Amino acid sequence: MNRLLWPFAGFIVLVAFLAVGLTLKPSELPSPLIDKPAPNFSLPQLKSPENVFTSESMKGQVWLLNVWASWCAACLDEHPVISELANSGVVPIIGLNYKDVRSEAIAWLGRYGDSYTLSVSDTRGRVGIDFGVYGVPETFVIDKQGMIRHKHIGPVTQSAVRDTLLPLIRELQQ
């Protein structure tokens, strides 16, 4: 093959991806962790690092783990939705501050509001790896027994809260 066709071939692949990208909306991925016990972790709290938060302490209630970072544009996108859900008091939301600089994360919360029950610092991303985080943001629904029941990839939207998260949370809280 003419080697000068390579740029064209690469371009075709790019266009194919862009075309598929146009048709797709934020989609859900069946995670291998669904219906498996959530990995246990102990991490320092973001705002008071001397206190350690352990996931064991959430046993007995339904909660959300929201992976976020101050460098993540999509997190800013979902932030009002997450805040509204947290302020409604339906479910505690723990923020997993992923691969972030502590001061920047705190500044980010100061700027856009902090409705999390609390956030923990996963500075090196170890807990994120255990949870199979591809990228930020991601949100996990964890039930009373500590099982992951749902994983939302990408910014949580109003409709995702209304149609998926809230019904599931209510069902799990029964």
Partner 1 sequence: MIAEFGHFTLILTLLVAGAQGALTLPGAANGNAAWIAFARPAARIQFALVSLAFLSLTWAFITKDFSVAYVAENSNSRLPLFYRIAAVWGGHEGSLLLWVLMQTGWACAVSMLSRQLPEPMVARVLGVLGLVNAGFLLFVLLTSNPFERLTPAPLEGLDLNPLLQDIGLIFHPPLLYMGYVGFSVVFAFAVAALLAGRLDAAWARWSRPWATAAWLFLTLGIAVGSWWAYYELGWGGWWFWDPVENSSFIPWLVGTALIHSLAVTEKRNSFKSWTVLLAISTFSLSLLGAFLVRSGVLTSVHAFATDPRRGVFLLLLFAVVVGASLLLYAVRAPKVGLGGRFDFISRESLLLVNNVLMAVAAGSVLLGTLYPLFIDALGLGKISVGPPYFNAIFVPLMVPALLLMAVGPIANWKSAKLPAMLKRLYIPAFLAVAFGIGVPLALGRWSLLVALGVSLATWIGVAVVIGIYERMKATRSGLFSQPLSWLGMHVAHLGIAVFVVGVTLVMGYETEEDVSMAPGQTVQVGGYDLKFIGVRKVPGPNYVADMGDFEMFRDGASMGLLHPEKRTYASSAMPMTEAAIDANGLRHVYVALGEPLGDGAWSVRVYYKPFVDWIWGGCLLMALGGLLAISDRRYRLKRKARDASVALKGATS
The minimum distance between CB 82 and partner 1, in angstroms, equals 15
Q: Which chain residues interact with partner 1 by CB under 8 A?
A: 2, 4-5, 7-8, 11-12, 14-15, 17-22, 24, 26-29, 69, 71-77, 99, 103, 106-107, 110-111, 134-138, 153-155
The minimum distance between CB 9 and partner 1, in angstroms, equals 9
Structure tokens at 12: 């075709």
The minimum distance between CB 145 and partner 1, in angstroms, equals 26
| Cβ proximity to partner 1, 34 vs 74, nearer residue | 74
Alpha-carbon torsion 53, 34, 149, 83, what sign?
positive
Letter for the amino acid at 51? Answer: N
The minimum distance between CB 114 and partner 1, in angstroms, equals 11
Report the alpha-carbon distance of residue 104 to residue 108 in Å, rounded: 6
Report the alpha-carbon distance of residue 18 to residue 12 in Å, rounded: 10
| Radius of gyration of the chain measured on its C-alpha atoms | 18
| Cβ proximity to partner 1, 71 vs 166, nearer residue | 71
